[in-house]
Amino acid sequence: MSRADQILKEIKTLSSTTPDVEAAAVIDNDGLMIASALGADMDDDAVAAMGAALLGLGERSASELTRGDFEMVMIRGGDGYLMLVRSGHDSVLCVLTSRNAKLGLIFLDVSRAAKEVGRLLG
């Protein structure tokens, strides 16, 4: 199984086995989609570009406000959460959840998936 297939399998497993995770994608630092398990109504390129923009803001904010290295950014909207979690030096895991998501479980599973994606990307 190729590395890309392994990453796709990891994020599909996250989406299918973690309650309230609706979609997931792995995006590189430049805004290119590495792998996605997004809904058919979502544009991969738009999600990747928005993820990269949020990553840039998160990294700059953490740095300039002396909060250490970027680890995660989270946005809460009326219909759920968007999380970007560092998954290696050159990528982030983007996760969309439902509005009633149990965040403790989500954080645990997303953290594990991000570490595995980072390992696969080397």
The domain limits of the chain are 3-121
For residue 60, pLDDT beyond 90 = yes
Please provide residue 27's backbone torsions phi and psi, each rounded to the nearest 5 degrees: -125, 140
For residue 91, pLDDT beyond 90 = yes
Tell me the whole-structure pTM to 2 decimals: 0.93
Q: How confident is the model at residue 63 (pLDDT cuts 50, 70, 90)?
A: very high
CATH code reported for the domain at 3-121: 3.30.450.30
As a whole number, mean pLDDT of residues 49-57 equals 94
Q: How confident is the model at residue 121 (pLDDT cuts 50, 70, 90)?
A: very high
Tell me: the pLDDT tens digits for 11-42?
999 999 999 999 999 999 999 999 999 988 99
What is the structure's pLDDT at 97?
97
DSSP 40: T
What is the structure's pLDDT at 31?
93
For residue 98, pLDDT beyond 90 = yes
- The C-alpha angle 56, 38, 34, rounded to 5 degrees, equals 55
Q: Count CB atoms within 10 A of the CB of residue 62.
A: 16
